[in-house]
Structure 1
Amino acid sequence: MDDNRQLAVITQQTAEITKSVASIKTDITNAATDNNKSLQACLSAGDLLLSRSSEMNDELDAEIASFIKKAKATAKAMKDRRSTVTQVFDLVKKGFTTMENFLDAKSEESIIYKLQKKRDEYAAFKLEQQRKAEEERQRLARIEAAKTQLREDVITVCNQIVNEKTSEALDRLSEKFRLMTLDNAEQIKKEISEYPTEIKIASFLADRKPSFSPEIPAEEARNIMNAAYKEVNESLTKSYADSVASTKQDLLDTFDSKVSELQEQKRLEDERRKAEEEAKKAADEKAKAEAEARAKAAEEERKKREEELKAAEAQAEKERLEKAEAERKQREEEDRIRKAQSQTQTLFDQAPAIAAPVKAKVSHHIEIDDPTGFLAIIQMWWTHEGSKMSLEDLNKKLGFMVKTCEKVKNKEDITVIDPAVRYVEDIVAK
Structure 2
Amino acid sequence: MATELIKIDEVKSILSSFPDIIGKNTNSVKKCNEAGQALLDTIEGEGMNETIDQAAADYLKKVNVTLKNMDERRKPITQIFDKIRSFFTSQEKEIDPKTPTTIPGKLAAKRNEYAKYKYEEEQKRKKIAEQKARIDSEKASYQQAIENNLLSYFNMYLTSKIVELQDIFSRLTYANFDREVIGITVFQTDYPKAHFDKFNEEEATYYISQETKKEIRQNVLQGKYEEYAQRYKAKLLSIRQDLIDRVPSKRKELAELEQLRFANAEAAAKAEEQRKQREAEETAKRMEEIKRQEEVARQESAMKAQQSSIGGLFSSAAASVAPPPTNAKVKEKVVVLHQQGYLEVFQMWWLNEGQSLPVEELEKIFKKMITYCEKQANGKDQKYIKSQFIRYEADVKAK
State TM-score, norm by structure 1: 0.46
When Rg is computed on C-alpha atoms for both structures, the one with the higher figure is 1
